């Protein structure tokens, strides 16, 4: 967990669109409390962050209706840098006119609300961040198609995450989530020295989807710590976890607040000598104290565990504060190089201790709908689609996917063991005369004016998405 301090972001108020959104003929509704997830009475229907956004964080506004910032260089700070755009105030959409690796030279917190980072706009080999943790810690954030590859020089073992969704507690109202409505989509995170990607602190309504969480380094090398300090709702779906020694994930909470976690259609490979787990510290109150006793309400549905060369046979250990529903999960522990997992039910779930037994739930918790594949279908979809795949996967993600398919690879301690950061082509961005985030050719094709920057904020087809969002989403602004 990364504990860099942050000021509480100021609130901005905007005209709200109350819209209905249909996907595959199914009305999707957002709720803040799982207890009423199936009750549509009084529940507002909102616009998803982008087509395909699902789970608790799906209704993030991001930078909708805001200013477009164009990243023009790979500097860690200064004019034209990613940091300059992220640090700006007000709604903003960040696009890229250059591809390559950005040496952050320190953490990159997103402190100000209403921000979209659109890594899919980068030319060449796309964007990689190194030597600094990405810290989403404000309301309404969208991060897509970015690689966050930290590296061991960024911190001592157990000190820094590659991605840390985190905000300190509000001192005046510690039960109030300070940062909410955050979605990460097609993010590739690796080489963290604490966890690779974590959700902690004062946050709520989070989705991490279609991402790759891999290769923690140093002696800690853990996947994800999902332990907020307020009541929190989070969705993790269609992600690949590979070569993390432990915490695949470790889910629970601090301060005896409930974590409502929907964990489905994820692929977990070569979990080292560790496994997934939940809070169990209530067994040792003299050692851990009351702030480490947390509650978990977990859906564990249609995931695919592959033991790998160093993996453990147990996929999850529960504690006495956890209630878990599991169904449709496949477990492949043969190490025969063939992906042939079978459903072992509760046999691969264990308790930390006879006196710290989790509770089995026969039915799923009623959380926001996520399109759910069978575990074997999810396996192929995740291997083919997850991570920062636009404009293209880098050599690291290609290697990881190949290792999953062939049963190869290992838990590492140093980036040097896998060749370090690959070189990325800078590429050439398409012409954008008015710097509104939409290429001239695309604007002309769709009847927009490539010399009028103001049309990026307009909504030509009145569907709720602005014209620049239609470009980012690969949709038609006239339909």
Which positions are annotated as active-site residues? 247
Contact yes or no for 465/479 (Cβ under 8 A)? no
Contact yes or no for 18/42 (Cβ under 8 A)? no
Question: Measured between alpha carbons, how far is 75 from 73 in angstroms, rounded to an integer?
Answer: 6
- Contacts (Cβ under 8 Å, ≥6 apart) of 420: none
In order, the DSSP letters of 331-343 are: EE---SSS---B-
* Rg of the chain on CA atoms, in Å: 21
**How many helices and strands, by DSSP H and E, does the chain display?**
6, 31
- The structure tokens 């490539």 sit at 450
* Torsion sign across C-alpha atoms 102, 105, 106, 108: negative
Specify which residues 209 forms β-bridges with.
Answer: 185, 237
Q: Measured between alpha carbons, how far is residue 169 from residues 10, 33, 161, 228, 229 in Å?
A: 15, 20, 19, 10, 8
- To the nearest 10 degrees (0 to 180), the angle between helices 395-406 and 375-385 is 150
Q: Say how far residue 298 (Cα) sits from the centre of its chain.
A: 17
């Amino acid at each position: 967990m990364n504990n860099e301090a942050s000021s509480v972001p100021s609130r901005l108020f905007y005209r709200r669109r109350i819209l209905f959104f249909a996907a595959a003929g199914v009305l999707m509704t957002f709720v803040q409390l799982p207890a009423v997830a199936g009750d549509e009475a009084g529940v507002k229907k909102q616009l998803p962050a982008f087509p395909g956004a699902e789970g608790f964080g799906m209704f993030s506004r991001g930078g909708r209706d805001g200013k477009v910032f164009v990243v023009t260089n790979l500097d860690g700070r200064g004019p034209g840098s990613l940091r300059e755009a992220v640090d700006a105030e007000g709604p903003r959409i960040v696009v890229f006119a250059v591809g390559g690796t950005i040496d952050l030279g320190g953490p990159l917190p997103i402190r100000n609300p209403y921000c979209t980072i659109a890594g899919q706009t980068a030319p060449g080999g796309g964007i990689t961040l190194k030597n600094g943790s990405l810290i989403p810690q404000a309301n309404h954030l969208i991060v897509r198609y970015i690689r966050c590859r930290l590296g061991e020089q960024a911190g001592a073992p157990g000190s820094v995450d590659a991605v840390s969704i985190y905000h300190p507690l509000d001192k005046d109202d510690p039960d109030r989530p300070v940062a909410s409505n955050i979605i990460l989509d097609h993010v590739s995170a690796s080489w963290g020295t604490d966890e690779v990607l974590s959700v902690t602190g004062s946050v709520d309504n989070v989705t991490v989807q279609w991402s790759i969480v891999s290769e923690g380094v140093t002696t800690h090398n853990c996947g994800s710590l999902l332990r907020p300090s307020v009541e929190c709702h989070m969705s993790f779906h269609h992600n690949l976890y590979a070569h993390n020694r432990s915490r695949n994930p470790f889910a629970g909470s601090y301060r005896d607040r409930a974590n409502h976690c929907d964990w489905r259609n994820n692929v977990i490979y070569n979990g080292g000598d560790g496994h997934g787990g939940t809070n169990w510290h209530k067994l040792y109150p003299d050692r851990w104290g009351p702030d480490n006793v947390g509650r978990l309400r977990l859906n564990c549905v249609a995931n695919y565990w592959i033991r790998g060369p160093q993996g453990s046979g147990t996929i999850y250990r529960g504690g006495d504060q956890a209630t878990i529903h599991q169904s449709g999960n496949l477990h492949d522990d043969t190490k025969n190089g063939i992906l042939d997992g079978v459903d072992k039910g509760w046999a691969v779930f264990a308790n930390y201790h006879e006196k710290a037994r989790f509770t089995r739930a026969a039915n799923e918790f009623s959380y926001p709908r996520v399109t759910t594949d069978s575990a074997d279908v999810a396996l192929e979809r995740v291997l083919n689609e997850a991570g920062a795949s636009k404009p293209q996967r880098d050599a690291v993600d290609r290697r990881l996917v190949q290792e999953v398919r062939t049963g190869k690879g290992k838990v590492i301690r140093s980036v040097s063991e896998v060749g370090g950061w690959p070189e990325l082509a800078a590429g050439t961005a398409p012409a954008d005369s008015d710097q509104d985030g939409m290429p001239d050719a695309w604007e002309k094709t769709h009847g927009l004016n490539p010399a009028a920057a103001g049309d990026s904020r307009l909504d030509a087809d009145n569907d709720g998405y602005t014209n620049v969002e239609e470009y980012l989403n690969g949709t038609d602004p006239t339909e």
